[in-house]
Amino acid sequence: MQAGCEASFALALAEAAASWERELRDQGILSCSIFTKGSGVFVYLEAASESCEWAWTKACRDLLETWPGWGSDKRYAVPMLDIYHDGQAEIREARYDSGSERLGMLARLKPPMYSSYIFYHYAMQEEKPNCFNPTYVIGTHEEFIFSYYEHPSPAFENGATRRTWPAAITPENWHEVMQPHFIPWSESEQGMVLWEKMDTLLSF
């Protein structure tokens, strides 16, 4: 968001919410949550087709900075790379409108640790599907990693291993192995804060 426009953006989003939800559903978007941290805005959506493209309402777009990148086109959103999903896409329809809280969390990775982080998450995704929360996904863009999940977790049985290799890769001491990958938000006597919960502006 543009500097100092956080409150105005939240208001513009709230005023457009009802009509915008209908428009998004007509475009094939089944579920949408918009989260913020500081001036950053993160969108999680589930769509009926990969051809659905995200576009802000004019009132919201006017309060956003353009995202830098190649070319001359003004970009008001950039896609994140999908690097982890605990559950299968086809099980998601079973828990729509379940009343669960939708959570967006944000963390930062050390650039030299990106490949290691993705490697271990791919291994876990294949070796232990549905081991944590079948709605849990992680996306990344530059140093940011964004996670989305719903709490409480839907009741699904652990999935069958998707892929095997000569020896298991997922470490038993998962959190200990993961900690060096992160740039902490803060540190205290209680430990380092690696993931921060974001504020929810809109969810349907």
Burial 172-204 (b: 16+ CB within 10 A, else e): eeeeeebeebbeeeeeeeeeeebeeebeebbeb
100 pLDDT tier (thresholds 50, 70, 90): confident
92 pLDDT tier (thresholds 50, 70, 90): low
- pTM score of the predicted model: 0.87
pLDDT at 36 over 70: yes
